[in-house]
Amino acid sequence: MRNAGGHTATVNIEAPIRPKSPHRAVALELGCALTGVYGVGNLWVERTSAGLTGMAVFWLVALTASCVIGIAGGSDIDWLLGLAVVWAAFALPMSLSAWRGAKEFNTRWVSTTDR
């Protein structure tokens, strides 16, 4: 097979695609979420829109809730409570999304003999 530059390119069609572990997807999701970055597990299982949307929505909701709770609470540390509540609210749905994404990836890309 020749590419645009006239060079021969070899494509290995025989190489199997390795399955992605749902456990690893959830671990990536929650592990990175501890640093404030939701969506990594979804990106790893090639659910790009879910991962990027999760990142953006998490910070939008987290900053809004932190400001509202921080202002309403009157204490300097109340904004952390808002951040913790939003983090906990995102943990389950984002983890489930990464889990399902790994299952879908395996169904779509991994042949039945490789599972």
User: Domain extents for the chain?
Assistant: 22-107
Evaluate if residue 1 carries a pLDDT over 60: no
* pLDDT value of residue 73: 78
* Alpha-helical runs (H) found in 8-77: 22-33, 40-44, 48-73
Distance CA 4, CA 88 (A): 51
* Cα 58 → chain centroid: 12
Distance CA 36, CA 3 (A): 42
Reported as half-sphere exposure (CB side, CA atoms, 13 A), residue 113 has a value of 2
For the segment 54-63, what is each residue's pLDDT rounded down to a tens digit? 999 999 998 8
Cα-atom radius of gyration of the chain, to the nearest Å?
20
More confident position, 9 or 110: 110
With bands split at pLDDT 50, 70 and 90, how would you rate the model's confidence at 12?
low
Q: Read off the pTM.
A: 0.74
